[in-house]
């Protein structure tokens, strides 16, 4: 049966998909488009939150990065005109979840702290030459 999937017997143990994967934690190869997207979203959101994110903020950022990846994959499917009604409902649901995650993280940029403002060097003023 070339090209067909081999049937799985009940209670059959499946081989590990990746050697580095442990206890259900999914790892994405950073060299792929998906891996680069995850890395970029994480980096952008960590910069947005600030230098010392809490554990909860890190967890929310991880969830948001995965939702961004899933939405990007659905975007590609929609662009190919291969989407179904189920895909549309799923897409709208995920967009709503992502919006709520961003709202929880804080959509607006956090205000800089006074101590950080004092550390930055003053900007040189332009003087007009007579």
Is the pTM value of this prediction over 0.85?
Answer: no
pLDDT value of residue 17:
52
Q: Which helix (H) or strand (E) holds 75?
A: helix 55-79
- Residue 128 or 96, more confident: 96
- Residue 116 or 66, more confident: 66
Domains contained in the chain, number = 1
Query: Is position 31 within any domain?
Result: no
pLDDT value of residue 12:
57
Query: Is position 84 within any domain?
Result: yes
One DSSP character per residue, 14-51 reads PPPS-SS--TT-----TTSHHHHHHHHHHHHHHHHH-S
Query: Is position 118 within any domain?
Result: no
Query: Is position 124 within any domain?
Result: no
Tell me which residue of 43, 48, 102, 50 sits closest to 71, measured CA to CA.
102
Query: Is position 81 within any domain?
Result: yes
Query: Is position 9 within any domain?
Result: no
Cβ neighbours around 126 below 10 Å, total: 6
Domain enclosing residue 87, as ranges: 51-109
Token pair of 65 as six digits: 């990065």
């Amino acid at each position: 049966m070339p090209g067909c999937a081999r049937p799985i017997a009940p209670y059959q143990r499946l081989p590990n998909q990746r050697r580095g994967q442990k206890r259900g934690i999914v790892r994405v190869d950073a060299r792929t488009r998906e891996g680069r997207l995850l890395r970029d979203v994480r980096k952008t959101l960590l910069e947005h939150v600030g230098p010392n994110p809490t554990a909860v903020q890190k967890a929310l950022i991880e969830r948001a990065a995965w939702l961004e990846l899933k939405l990007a994959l659905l975007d590609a499917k929609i662009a190919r005109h291969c989407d179904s009604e189920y895909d549309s409902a799923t897409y709208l649901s995920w967009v709503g979840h992502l919006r709520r995650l961003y709202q929880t993280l804080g959509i607006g940029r956090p205000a800089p702290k006074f101590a950080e403002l004092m550390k930055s060097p003053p900007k040189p003023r332009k003087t007009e030459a007579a």
